[in-house]
Amino acid sequence: MNDSTASATLPPPPPIRRLRRIYSRGHSLSAIQSLWQADDHLLVVQHIYYTEKYQRLFFRDIESMIVQPSTRRLIINIVLGLLLVPAIFMMVLMDDGVWFGGAVVLALCVPLLINTLLGPGCRCEVCTRVNTVRLRGLTRLRRALREMDRLSVPIARAQGAYDAQAHRSALAPPAPAPAPADDAAARIEAPVAPAAPSRRRVAPTPLLVPDDGIFHRILIAALTLETLAIALFLNTGYAGLLTPAGVTILLTFLLTFVVLSRSARRTTSVAWRRWTWANFGYQILRGLSLYVTLTVLNVVASVRHPAAQGTMGVDIEGLAGHAFVRGLLTAFAAISVASALWGVFALRRGAAARNAAPPPLPPPPEGP
């Protein structure tokens, strides 16, 4: 058999389909994902270390495409904002930190601006009859909606037009069966076997004990004591009073955690719960601001005095005489007073709601 006869008997090669790249790098914890569109399917490629995994989602099998908003942009902006605060402090407080701090601020502001302009984040998934595949490269809402509108055309072409009337009739409940004839055989009912008792033991739901509010009162007292310690330091300027002020700040932070843990195991009024969560948010923001301030002051002290003994650190005298620290403590004292007053009103309102009489029972219905 010559070469011409052998080539004539071979089947023709399959047609080459051109793939459209939707995205090339969608990251997860352990893999990189890329998505490609063919004539009749989507090709999902997973790059896991030195291996590749291919998965085809045919348009005729796709049942739904889900796009839901996420907090991606908000989380990235919060992280960049927290990194931007010490850079601004470094640029303002350091003598020669204008150029270095300005470069860091510029390097953080550019991705912050780009992340804001890209729009809100989202989570995109494609559902078939057997599985659900997350499209990790479509993380922005505007682009995901644009790609979903583009993919809806080949999906509709592969599955046909949507018939709302047929779908509604398929979901309608079945018609009731016709009543049997009125004879003796039809009135005989088959005996129903009793259901076997379930061996699964269901744990009883624990009853929550009403909260008496004792730790709420202790937290209000700690906030008042903290305000007095800060006010005493601001009036005298004595550096030794920073220690009791710091101890009271730490005490209120721990008491807030105790109150939150008790609220999860006890029934608490809405007014008490709102005040507790607001105070918890205030404690978190105060701890972050103190951490950032002390870090910046330590960096400035180490830069200004590189030949000083010891590692990065600022003495308590310099900390007590710093204008920014005094202003920060003044703001803490004012917010603590407001939080303590809010706690007093919340306690009174919660106690009044708890001791209120239940509504009267409705009158019984009249007889015929």
pLDDT over threshold 80, residue 182: no
User: For position 193, what pLDDT does the model report?
Assistant: 54
pLDDT over threshold 70, residue 165: yes
- The share of the chain scoring above pLDDT 90, in percent, equals 5
Write down the mean pLDDT value for the chain. 76
For residue 177 the two structure tokens come to: 């069966």
Higher per-residue confidence, 319 vs 206: 319
User: For position 126, what pLDDT does the model report?
Assistant: 92
pLDDT over threshold 80, residue 54: yes
Task: Please report, as a single letter, which amino acid is at residue 337.
Answer: V
pLDDT over threshold 70, residue 360: no
Which of helix, strand or coil describes residue 336? helix
User: For position 124, what pLDDT does the model report?
Assistant: 92
Query: Taking a C-beta distance cutoff of 8 angstroms, is the pair 26, 135 a contact?
Result: yes
Task: Please report, as a single letter, which amino acid is at residue 278.
Answer: A
Banded model confidence at residue 309, pLDDT cuts 50, 70, 90:
very low
Higher per-residue confidence, 277 vs 18: 277
Higher per-residue confidence, 85 vs 185: 85
User: What string of DSSP letters covers 6-57?
Assistant: HHHHSPPPPPPPPPEEEEEEEE-SS-EEEEEE-SSEEEEEEEETTEEEEEEE
Task: Please report, as a single letter, which amino acid is at residue 95.
Answer: D
What's the average model confidence in pLDDT over 321-341?
85
Give the CA radius of gyration of the chain.
34
User: For position 312, what pLDDT does the model report?
Assistant: 45
Banded model confidence at residue 311, pLDDT cuts 50, 70, 90:
very low
User: For position 299, what pLDDT does the model report?
Assistant: 74
- The share of the chain scoring above pLDDT 70, in percent, equals 70
User: For position 16, what pLDDT does the model report?
Assistant: 52
Banded model confidence at residue 159, pLDDT cuts 50, 70, 90:
confident
Strand pairing report for 62-69 and 122-128: antiparallel
Which of 208, 328, 312, 223 has the alpha carbon at shortest distance from 268?
Answer: 208
Count the neighbouring beta carbons within 10 Å of the beta carbon of residue 86: 17
Banded model confidence at residue 353, pLDDT cuts 50, 70, 90:
low
Instruction: List for the chain the helix, strand, coil content (%; round to 5).
Output: 55, 15, 30
User: For position 167, what pLDDT does the model report?
Assistant: 65
pLDDT over threshold 60, residue 198: no
User: For position 1, what pLDDT does the model report?
Assistant: 47
pLDDT over threshold 80, residue 20: yes
CA distance 267 to 167: 47
What's the average model confidence in pLDDT over 253-277?
80
Task: Please report, as a single letter, which amino acid is at residue 131.
Answer: N
Q: What are the residue ranges spanned by the domains of the chain?
A: 20-67+126-160, 73-117, 209-354
What's the average model confidence in pLDDT over 323-327?
81
